[in-house]
Amino acid sequence: MGQGTAMGSARFKDVVTSVAMLREVVPEPDDLVKEKVISIVDETAARFIAASPFLLIATTDAGGTLDVSPKGDPAGFVKVLDEKTIAIPDRLGNGRLDTLRNILANPIVGLIFLIPGAGHTLRVSGHATVVRDMALREELAFKGKMPEHAIVVDVERVLSHCTKCMVRSGLWKQEKWPDTSDVPTLADILVAHAKLEAAAKVGLQKLIDTDISERLY
């Protein structure tokens, strides 16, 4: 990983190599920003999580390769078990189990919770465990179907993130959304990355559509 980083930065001349260099251009934040980090899921954080239908979870494998995976369900799908513990259902996916395998190798995780229309986000980090306790899986069931696994996070850091990135991106403003007519479909990407024949795209798209309609839970 270190070698790759060095190779990637070799083309540039003004490379930042220390926090001191960062602070030469970006001053220290004010006390409010420094002190906004808490170590529990308090009542305000719990309300945000309860309203969130979508999160991103970052995990790392034993070799340091980072992965970020989206998780989504109707709002309230993440359960706050107590002020130090949250549980995330692991719904049906493609079977790669990247997130779960990474947690087994390195339990440190980072989460970002989003709520459509809300400009701020909530960041949570801690250590995760993959569990199969029946009582918890029953609590996380949706439409009568339990997840096979749950990701239980022992919370260590909770903080809010400001709205500037949402304002700049226009994420929740439809009039600012980019034209997606030329964006490759999932089938396009699979054909390209798996080096398949172009004719395979039609069959892949049918599989994707069937998967979405029949295997959400």
Query: What is the span of the domain harbouring residue 200?
Result: 178-214
Based on the fold, state whether residues 148 and 182 are members of the same structural domain.
no
In one letter, which amino acid is 139?
E
Based on the fold, state whether residues 42 and 77 are members of the same structural domain.
yes
Based on the fold, state whether residues 210 and 148 are members of the same structural domain.
no
Q: Give how many domains the chain has, as a whole number.
A: 2
> Residue 69: inside a domain, yes or no?
yes
Confidence check: pLDDT of 196 > 80: yes
**Dihedral angle sign, alpha carbons of residues 67, 73, 75, 79:** negative
Confidence check: pLDDT of 180 > 60: yes
> Residue 32: inside a domain, yes or no?
yes
- The CATH code of the domain that includes 153 is 2.30.110.10
- What per-residue confidence (pLDDT) applies to 5? 54
R_g (Cα) of the chain, nearest Å: 20
> Residue 195: inside a domain, yes or no?
yes
Based on the fold, state whether residues 36 and 95 are members of the same structural domain.
yes
Based on the fold, state whether residues 93 and 192 are members of the same structural domain.
no
User: For the segment 76-117, what is each residue's pLDDT rounded down to a tens digit?
Assistant: 999 999 999 999 999 998 899 999 999 999 999 999 999 999
